[in-house]
Structure 1
Amino acid sequence: MSAGRLGAAKPSPGKWADLSRRVASTLVLLGIGIMLAVATGVWLRLSMALISAITFWELAAMTGWRNPRLHPGIFGAWRPFALAVIAFMSQAIALGFDHSLAILALFFPLIAGIPGAAPRDRWTYALFGAAIMLVAYGLVGFREHYGLNFVLWLMGIVIISDTAGYFFGRMIGGPKFWPSLSPKKTWSGTIAGWIGALLLGVLLWRLGRGDAMLIWCSPIVCLAGQMGDIAESWLKRRAGVKDSSNLIPGHGGFMDRFDAVTGAVLATMLIGLLTALPAVN
């Protein structure tokens, strides 16, 4: 065997190397959909409180835990866990009490965590933390007031966007959508996600499973989900980490799988504040 052959570089993993991560994302989203289908009442609320706690633990770990001056000794190691407990209890209070002021409990983990975050990350922690708490709260509201099919429509948009974006982006390629934050995301994949969401909206409308608002809402929610993915990529780059955590062995953390859902749910909540939400039967 020649020296050149011995020193040959290993072949690149190829453009489908991260397919398993996409499959993991889809499975997590399907799991959330099944949970929302099965869980009701107190179990639904506790499940979403747990999701809040897990994602808050990851957020806290990315916004200040490396600073020994702020978090010396054992306090630094326990800070993310402590904030996760506060997030769980706060979400449970907000969802468990039928009072307009109960929603203020969503801000407890923000108040508790902002002083301990790294100075440059305090606004980052506050904004992402607010998003985490509002999305879990909003999903319960959508499930109970708009029905399971409405939540499945949201999850379907995220799954279709992610799947279409991945496969069409890899097959067609072309210019990158936002190379400084997401070097693998292409314009072709991004637009494929919009088209997939649009087709889902049209299909539900034509089948009589929803009203015509789905036609324009679906692509907007899709775009918001893509922006959620971009925002989490920015957060990880800012923190200097590849994944939000190692909770899913080989596939990163929960925020990595929940980022697009966050953007989609927040956009849907905003649409609901501005106008009526589409009906999904």
Structure 2
Amino acid sequence: MAEITSFDGRTTKVDGAALIDVAVGELLARVGERVRQARARRNIPRRVLAEISGVSPRYLAQLESGEGNISIGLLMRVAIALDLRIEWLVGEDDPRASEVLRMTELFRDAERSVQAQVMSLLTATEPQGQRAQRLCLIGLRGAGKSTLGQLAGEALDVPFVELNREIELAGGMPVEEIMALYGQEGYRKLEADALSRVVATHDRLVLAVGGGIVAEPATYHRLLSHFHTIWLKASATEHMERVRAQGDERPMAGNPEAMNDLRSILQAREALYERAHAQLDTSGASLDDTLKRLLALIAERGFLE
């Protein structure tokens, strides 16, 4: 038997197993409340969080209600999708945790010039030499990474590599089949391995990666450490129009909320994409104009020198 003392000073004997059940219940309630608050602050619908994290809407509903006995692996996916450390979701109430969250929100809402200054200070000691003459284009699907990457590689006389093609070579099948057979986790493992191979075999190249790579902390950190990265930005409408112009109707098929979901995904990943070393807004610009501005940005920043 264990003893617990209430606020009025009364001591009650409680069975040890019951005490553990109480502690577990409090933990689940705390995690659920924090997930719900974080999702609300980022204005992310539950269905969009489910898509980003790979956790079903049913599990998320149970988690947020404090009734979900969710696994550590699934909780990690939720934390990554919300751009949070899992320790903050499960830790005891700590004033420092509130301070960190407050700083995160201040950074998210700050002007881009202020964000750039903060990132410059925080990354001042990063080993620049590790990036060699490697350039990586990141952004959502439809940003123009493959088209611009190919053209930039030809103009600069450097190899162009699509990470998804490397993943397909390693997996022996198209990305869609890899996802269907091995799931998100299997794809991310192949993605991380493919990135490591590219780093090991190329000191000079232009690389295009999938839009979701930013949601895998370890892989994204490796990318930022070994590549000069440029975020190709566009509005959600342009992302959708470009994908459909390629003849791919899947984003809209059977999903009337597809555009709203895309906007939410873009909003949820914005803080991650902003960690790139440079940004290029492609909205409303022709391919030729965008390529010229991309080449000028690469030269200005000395990314391939």
Instruction: Give TM-score scaled by structure 2 length.
Output: 0.27
Greater share of strand residues, 1 or 2?
A: 2
Greater share of helix residues, 1 or 2?
A: 1
Instruction: Give TM-score scaled by structure 1 length.
Output: 0.28
Structure number with bigger Rg: 2
